[in-house]
Amino acid sequence: MMKNKTVAYVTGANGFVGSHLVDYLLEKGLEVHAIVRPSSNLKWLEGKAIQLHTCGLSDPDALVEAFQGAHYIYHIAGVVKVSTKEGFMKGNATMTRHVMQAAAQIPSIRRVLVTSSMAATGYAPMGGSVNEASPLRPIEPYGESKVAQEAVALEFADRVPSTIVRPPGVYGPRDTEIFAFFKAISNGFSVMMGFKPKEMSLIHVRDLVQGMYLAANNERSVGEVYFLGSLECYNWKQLGEVASKAMGKKTWTLKIPHFVIFTIGFIGQFLESVFGMDVALNKDRAYRVTRPSWYCSSEKAVKELGFEQTISIEDGFASTIEWYKKQGWL
């Protein structure tokens, strides 16, 4: 540990969001420690001035040892793809419990930032939005595990100062999830789920990690929950047009009926459950992508944290596409 330097730990530091947060914290001059598993792919952490801890999150005692001297813990690690509800609960709720148990034994801790998801509240009504006062109505096991994760954080409120953030869809360099959308555009297709408009929030990863930093470093945010999303509401048609323009591509709009999406989802569910295959679409994800709106209001974060969307969808898509091209992904 370096004297007089703020010390931050990032769980899931090797992942998409986690690695961008590491970059941001280093830019802020913090001493950064990364919590990863022994088997983690460290591609996005190579050459960075950080300290690695390969203890993972399964052993609370190992975390206590790793967290010595920590001021901030940014808990980003979690699971988004697993075939069982138990797997989601273990990866998101149980591992969060381990982090909080360990943090409770570290006297130097100033804040633990817990990364939840908009999935905890479920989808929004068409033309409306969800916010921090909205009831928690998850529609799938992943969302249920995020509700459980938040409950764990609140359980430790008297011992560990924490803040919860709920991002919506996140895009940017290093992402492999929303990448499929860009790949379809590069192949000349703008895919729409169903025949009715679909709305959503979408945030560039750089804006997200800035919001995380603001949430963790604000005195009034202890015990609070914040949505960190785009300040605009987008629809799939609009996103397709922006991506097509950025790539200089003419695209055909391909509207996939809901029954086709659900059919593919159930087939994917079978392959996932029986053969353990990693599928892009199962029944839960099929239900998720056919909902009318995934728009969240970030007004609370704007007012209380000074959060802002600094990267427009046009600039964000353009820079992300350029990065994909440099990597040879597009």
Which domains occur in the chain, in start order? Answer: 7-171+203-229+294-310 (3.40.50.720)
Residues in the chain: 330
Helix (H) or strand (E) holding 290: none
Q: Determine the average pLDDT of the residues in 206-218.
A: 98
Reported as a pLDDT band with limits 50, 70 and 90, residue 127 is confident
Strands (DSSP E) found in 1-133: 7-11, 31-35, 51-53, 72-75, 111-115
Question: What pLDDT digit, counting tens, does each position of 59-103 carry?
Answer: 999 999 999 999 999 999 999 988 899 999 999 999 999 999 999
- State residue 190's pLDDT score: 92
- 169 pLDDT band, cuts 50/70/90, is very high
- Indicate if the pLDDT at residue 297 is higher than 70: yes
> Which residues, 6 or more positions from 51, have their beta carbon under 8 angstroms from its beta carbon?
31, 32, 33, 34
Q: Which pLDDT value is given to residue 1?
A: 63
Is the CB of residue 246 less than 8 Å from the CB of residue 321? Answer: yes
Average pLDDT over residues 258-284: 88
* pTM (predicted TM-score): 0.95
Mean pLDDT (the chain, rounded): 95
Residue 153 has pLDDT above 70, yes or no: yes
- Running DSSP on this structure, what letter comes out for residue 125? P
Distance separating alpha carbons of residues 69 and 273, to the nearest angstrom: 43
Instruction: Give the mean pLDDT of 22-28.
Output: 98
Q: Which amino acid is at 2?
A: M
